[in-house]
Amino acid sequence: MQPSHTITVDLGDRRYPILIGSGLVGGYDLSPFIEGPDCLIVTNETVGPLYLERLKKSLGGHACEALCLPDGECHKTLAAAESIFDALAAMRAGRDATVVALGGGVVGDIAGFAAACYMRGIPFVQAPTTLLAQVDASIGGKTGVNHREGKNLIGAFHQPRAVLIDTGVLDTLPDREFRAGLAEVVKHAAIADAEFFAWLEANVGALLDRDAAALGEAIGHCCEIKSAVVAADEKEQGLRALLNFGHTFGHAIENALGYGEWLHGEAVAAGMVMATELSGIDPQEGERLRRLLTAAGLPIAPPDHCRGGLRAAMDLDKKNRRGRLRFVLLRAIGDAYLASDYSESRLDSVIGPAGAEPAGDQP
Amino acid sequence: MQPSHTITVDLGDRRYPILIGSGLVGGYDLSPFIEGPDCLIVTNETVGPLYLERLKKSLGGHACEALCLPDGECHKTLAAAESIFDALAAMRAGRDATVVALGGGVVGDIAGFAAACYMRGIPFVQAPTTLLAQVDASIGGKTGVNHREGKNLIGAFHQPRAVLIDTGVLDTLPDREFRAGLAEVVKHAAIADAEFFAWLEANVGALLDRDAAALGEAIGHCCEIKSAVVAADEKEQGLRALLNFGHTFGHAIENALGYGEWLHGEAVAAGMVMATELSGIDPQEGERLRRLLTAAGLPIAPPDHCRGGLRAAMDLDKKNRRGRLRFVLLRAIGDAYLASDYSESRLDSVIGPAGAEPAGDQP
């Protein structure tokens, strides 16, 4: 089976393909990306029962072992990475062994980090199974685990050999998680591609119906945008930070609500609306963003009751960064820039008064 | 205070200096290599009391915190790296924080690995305090910790910003450790520089007396050899493997005796003699190596009682590598090459019969 879209992440001698299509897990031969004889599939207890056996068919004659991690962000720990080291060591895996991550962003981040560190780096393939991982987390080589003091505090840059995106596996993705993934799709359009944004406005219904052609198109666009950014700025010295649009506010929302209350994509959706308000662009552009997110079933403002916590989280963030917050702002839909000279009074009004009426419009 | 020797490891935009001289710890200003305001010195309970306060003088006005690890290879664990993550997180260290490793190879390897992983990589400076770390471990960016199934199984390539080699701190190094470091000095000469080997034959006495000028000269030569190899092959795709001369046998000796029985350098010394025998070069060259190592107070053969264990360890190593062992062999002193087509019968005779007379000459 051939992919409907193939995108190359151009990192010189570490370039790799993103293969997109329906039915690729089990239907596409990954053998060319598996170097040595040993292969460890890392998955989780939710995804494993659904797709592990199918994925093995993509790995041809390679001797595969599988490690099933518990599901959830709270398990994205150094201990989970250690369980992968243990599994690889027990297999007596050498430098030519390959780790294949089958799951969402959490599985991909942990497995990628373990592959980055085992014998100072072994080959690694991503098979993302959530929309969020397919359009964002699985591409670009950011791997890591959480520390109790911060998300992704421990990690590595380690590029995969290939990313296999099967849009068919999204059929089993819970609706709320699917919509959270759409937030990152909207993000890619908002920062870099006005035409794609317009396409999303026209096709959000087809996406919500999980139409295979629409999904392939949308995921392909996101991967093109992200690949170009990663190829230009692999280690996030500058440009790559644009991918954090909505994330400064989003992280503060997650923090204020308590992690796990809102999904990451939901917090990013509300965060993008806040960042757009801070940008001070044409109100009609802000209205387009709110309408699209609302159509995708996503929140466009944080819950009122967390405004106080939100302000506290941002103040702490600011203190930790020695007084300077950086935001990704918009000049217009499709045109983002990085700014640390935002207006403090505008920021105040975007966050809104603790316990009072929210500053953002309600759906 | 200025270094007596400065060598540059030429890795493009990640190039860094190795600064060598007596009195540099406390006497040389490291500020230009410290990026942000935060600095964490990682040391151990043996070295810290001797040199921590002195090193702080080299860090100018930077706010320094210090973390003291327990001393010894058995503490080179993921848990030790985690204690560094905890310390950095407690400091709220950002991406511009610097980790400074003050100690031997164990401290440098753990601290470097933690610096590689914290926020996906923060700046890192090496201040090695053992001869082994000064001529080998601190240069080239190999970092890592041990796993119960193997040494350095978990690690990263992460180059330091600078390596500060104070030959004066060797004054407090125990004699046995100093001699073990000389084994790696001899190794550098044996694989790459016949002239330096002859210089060592003439100056081994001055080195054993820890003469500052002789030490600066020897360490400078080693750093030049290692820097050139690292610059040509950072990730050990080929050439860099030559630095493992004596190490295949050496690791087997350490394994057979139980780790910690012999020091790494002692095992490498005997391992180099065995590798030279396997090379089948002019016996006079082998005799020169044995004489130099003997003059340095190093062993030139494994203990008789471990020959059986040695064979078992090498057989296991062979099995793990799917039947192929790779050795660094010599064409002559100063001219090494990588070989997997060695003579099995010669290997047999080099290892010697279990429980019988040793194959190697005795001092």
**Which residues, in sequence order, are CB contacts of A258 under 8 Å at separation 6+?**
none
Tokens encoding A343: 């207006």
Q: How confident is the model at residue A349 (pLDDT cuts 50, 70, 90)?
A: very high
Instruction: Give me chain A's average pLDDT, please.
Output: 94
B151-165 pLDDT per residue, tens: 899 999 999 999 999
Residue A232: both structure tokens together: 């230009």
Q: Is the pLDDT of residue A42 over 70?
A: yes
Percent of chain A with pLDDT over 70: 97
pLDDT tens readout for residues A8-29: 999 999 999 999 999 999 999 9
Q: Is the pLDDT of residue A118 over 90?
A: yes
pTM of the complete model? 0.94
Residue by residue, DSSP assigns B316-328 as HHHHHTTT---EE
* pLDDT, tens only, B92-107: 999 999 999 999 999 9
Query: Which of the four pLDDT bands, split at 50, 70 and 90, describes residue A357?
Result: very low
Q: Which residues of B touch A (CB under 8 A)?
A: 37, 78, 82, 85-86, 89-90, 92, 94, 116-121, 142, 144, 147-150, 152-157, 235, 320-321
What is the tens place of the pLDDT at every residue in B52-94?
999 999 998 788 999 999 999 999 999 999 999 999 999 999 9
Q: What single DSSP character describes residue B222?
A: H
Average pLDDT value for residue range A174-201 = 98
Q: What is the ipTM of this complex?
A: 0.93
* Backbone Cα Rg of chain B: 20
Q: How far is B193 from chain A (nearest CA, A)?
A: 29
- For the range A194-199, what are the long-range contacts, defined as Cβ-Cβ under 8 Å and sequence gap of 24 or more? A194/A332, A194/A333, A194/A334, A194/A335, A195/A334, A196/A221, A196/A225, A196/A334, A197/A288, A197/A292, A197/A333, A197/A334
Rounded to a whole number, what is the distance in Å from the CA of B84 to chain A's nearest CA?
Answer: 11
Enumerate the residues of chain A whose CB falls inside 8 A of the CB of residue B78: 78, 82, 85
pLDDT of residue B234: 94
Give me the pLDDT at residue B354, please: 61
Q: Residue B331 carries which side chain, given as an amino acid letter?
A: R
Measured N-to-C along each axis, helices A175-192 and A194-208 cross at an angle, to the nearest 10 degrees, of 170
Q: Does the pLDDT value for residue B363 go beyond 80?
A: no
- Decide if A218 contacts A185 (C-beta within 8 A): yes
Lowest model confidence (mean pLDDT) among A66-80, A170-184, A214-228, A306-320: A306-320
For A165-183, write each residue's pLDDT tens digit.
999 999 999 999 999 999 9
Q: Lowest mean pLDDT of A69-78, A280-289, A307-316, A330-339, name the range.
A: A307-316
pLDDT score recorded for residue A325: 87
Interface test with A, best of B77, B119, B120, B235 (most A CBs within 10 A): B120
Mean pLDDT computed over B243-271: 93
CB contact under 8 A, A142 and B155: no
